[in-house]
Copies of this chain bind each other. A is one copy, B any other.
């Protein structure tokens, strides 16, 4: 993977913020450094950087757009139901989701979504 000027700046801009910007938000800030970059390049590089494990791609249920995160260590998020803002939500491995009542990051916690992923019986059987 070549670290092109475009790729470098996209990564730097993402690392600058504690937000979890969309591709388009990132496109806007990268454009201040590279006015001729295209949105497609931003998408492609975010995908490649995520693939390489240098950033994380976040897709929330209910929200239409993907978000990107420079923090790759495992953590959860909390989304404001009013404005859509997304903040980090550090997990305590000893707590179950019901027990997070304290207002982390100043948020009022209203609820959570928990979904699992895995391999179904049929797909397990197929490839072993």
Contact = CB atoms under 8 A, between A and B. Distances in A.
Interface of A: 58-62, 76-83, 85, 87, 89, 91, 93-98, 100, 103, 105-124, 126-127
A contact patch SS: mixed
A103 to B, nearest CB: 8
Number of copies: 2
B115 A81 contact: no
A117 B109 CA distance: 6
A118 B109 CA distance: 4
Contacts of A118: 78-81, 103, 107-111
B81 A117 contact: yes
27 contacts: A58-B61, A60-B61, A60-B115, A61-B115, A78-B116, A78-B117, A80-B118, A80-B119, A80-B123, A81-B117, A81-B119, A85-B123, A87-B120, A89-B115, A89-B116, A91-B114, A95-B96, A97-B97, A97-B114, A105-B121, A106-B124, A110-B119, A111-B118, A112-B115, A112-B116, A112-B117, A113-B116
